[in-house]
Structure 1
Amino acid sequence: MVAVNESMQFPIGAEVACSNGVCGDLSRVVVDPVARIVTHLVVEPKHRRGLGRLVPIDLVEDSTDRVLLRCGTDEFAKLADAQETEFLPDAPIGLGYAPGQVSAWPYYGLGTGMGMGMGNASVPMVHDRIPVGEVEVRRGEQVHATDGTLGRVQGLVIDPNDRHVTHVLLQEGHLWGRKEVAIPISAVTGVADGIRLALTKDEVADLPPVEVEHPDWS
């Protein structure tokens, strides 16, 4: 068993704590795909999904058994929202208001009738708010070898000194006796649409297993 030494592991789904208490779970990791550095973590409060905060990587103190932030829960609550809900501008609801005075909330299948049964059902338009040019890595994204898909992302490993991604953690599977592997970032050719590798399935199978801290996903 090989350990990834002198590094920080970010298993997606791991518990995240502020200096004065737990603040949520790690939902996504934001990466600059050109520089190959982690810039932010998306942390969602427990039992309040969709209300995630965009946490700058500089606020991360440690990630030994859980991700520890160097801020309190009050400061965490003031961080930028990780998602933005789009309103439908100038909704013609016919309640005596000019179109420019109204924004409708596209939610709960109530259409633009503000809950009064008017209008067609609509879906909330929710967008991730990440810096331009950066991408999110999510738990469960597919990992593609040169000869086919071989597994799913479990998390990332970074060098805490310069924030560079050093390895991609491959979710354990049945192909190699349920071992887990850390794929060197030098073997990664793309991260924008799943993780793409310059390795074959057999080459990945030859990588040694690594020790990974497992979050409680129950």
Structure 2
Amino acid sequence: MRDTVEFLIGAEVRCAGRECGAVAFVVVDPVARRLTHLVVQPDPPGVSRLVPVKLAQLRPGRIDLTCTPAELDALEPAVQEHFLSDSQNDWGYRSDQVLAWPFFGLAPGGTGITAMEPPMAPEPEPEYRLPPGDVPVRRGEPVRAADGPIGKVRGLGVDRADGRVTHVLLDEGHLWGRKLVGIPIAAVRGVDEDGVEVRLTKDEIRDLPPIDLDDRRAA
């Protein structure tokens, strides 16, 4: 009999017995259907880390890491931000020339001269540093049934022994009729950056029994 555990993406993460962050998202091998890494966003906020699942003890209410805080900080960053270089802009000037602009807004009224606004600072562009072939799974990503959208990802069910994903936790329904259900991984057609696609119809998913994590106790 499989020893499985359900956990929510966004769950508290503990390191050396103390809270050290939360699960920002998880990383899955879509071919083997195995959980490979957790991405931990530290508290206080800092660089999110790519944590191999072998360092994590999955529990219904939280994730316990077997590494020390120093070892956590030494793990690979999950996201690297970079900016477009000056050669990639189309403003017609270099960013270091902005301070040389004349103050057109100080011209006398009625001249028709208006102030020019400096360009927006370049936005950081995130680059995910994930193992080749693996895909991120985030809380809130759409789940598509065979006949249309049905809900959003909340978490995963995982076999403790080998990290295989046993089912996907789904928020099904609307505000007053919402429930958490587990879709068996055998019914999942695919997982990619656009979400989760399943073979079941909406009615079949609605007939699945609800999962109440509040009644689950950490092992």
How would you bin the TM-score normalised by the shorter chain?
0.7 to 0.9
Residue 146 of structure 1 contacts residue 198 of structure 1 at CA under 8 Å; is this kept in 2? yes
Q: Which runs of 5+ in 2 are unaligned?
A: 102-117
Residue 157 of structure 1 contacts residue 168 of structure 1 at CA under 8 Å; is this kept in 2? yes
Residue 11 of structure 1 contacts residue 213 of structure 1 at CA under 8 Å; is this kept in 2? no
| Aligned 1:123-142 pairs, distance under 5 A | 123-142=123-142
Greater Rg over alpha carbons, structure: 2
1:194 correspondence with 2:195: yes
Relative to structure 1, the CA distance from residue 139 to residue 199 in structure 2 (aligned partners, 3 Å threshold; closer, same or farther) is: same
> How far apart, in 1, do the equivalents of 2:64 and 2:161 lie?
16
Deviates more, 1:168-177 or 1:131-140: 168-177
1:82 correspondence with 2:78: yes
Residue 211 of structure 2 corresponds to 210
> How far apart, in 2, do the equivalents of 1:172 and 1:63 lie?
23
1:27 correspondence with 2:24: yes
Deviates more, 1:7-16 or 1:22-31: 7-16
CA RMSD of aligned residues (A): 2.7
Residue 41 of structure 2 corresponds to 44
Residue correspondences, number: 192
Q: Which amino acid aligns with 1:143?
A: V
Q: TM-score, normalised by structure 1?
A: 0.79
Residue 67 of structure 1 corresponds to 63
Residue 156 of structure 1 corresponds to 156
Deviates more, 1:172-181 or 1:183-192: 172-181
> How far apart, in 1, do the equivalents of 2:164 and 2:99 lie?
52
Q: Which runs of 5+ in 1 are unaligned?
A: 93-105
Residue 12 of structure 2 contacts residue 62 of structure 2 at CA under 8 Å; is this kept in 1? yes
Deviates more, 1:28-37 or 1:166-175: 166-175
Residue 98 of structure 1 corresponds to none
Shift of 1:63: 1.5
1:113 correspondence with 2:96: yes
Residue 18 of structure 1 contacts residue 72 of structure 1 at CA under 8 Å; is this kept in 2? yes
Residue 174 of structure 2 corresponds to 174
Shift of 1:180: 1.4
Deviations 1:156-215 (A, max 9, x none): 11101111000000025338833211000000001112110101000001111112259x
Shift of 1:129: 1.1
Shift of 1:142: 0.5
Bigger helix fraction: 2
> How far apart, in 1, do the equivalents of 2:14 and 2:98 lie?
38
> How far apart, in 2, do the equivalents of 1:124 and 1:117 lie?
25
Residue 176 of structure 1 contacts residue 205 of structure 1 at CA under 8 Å; is this kept in 2? no
Q: Which amino acid aligns with 1:27?
A: A
> How far apart, in 2, do the equivalents of 1:115 and 1:59 lie?
48
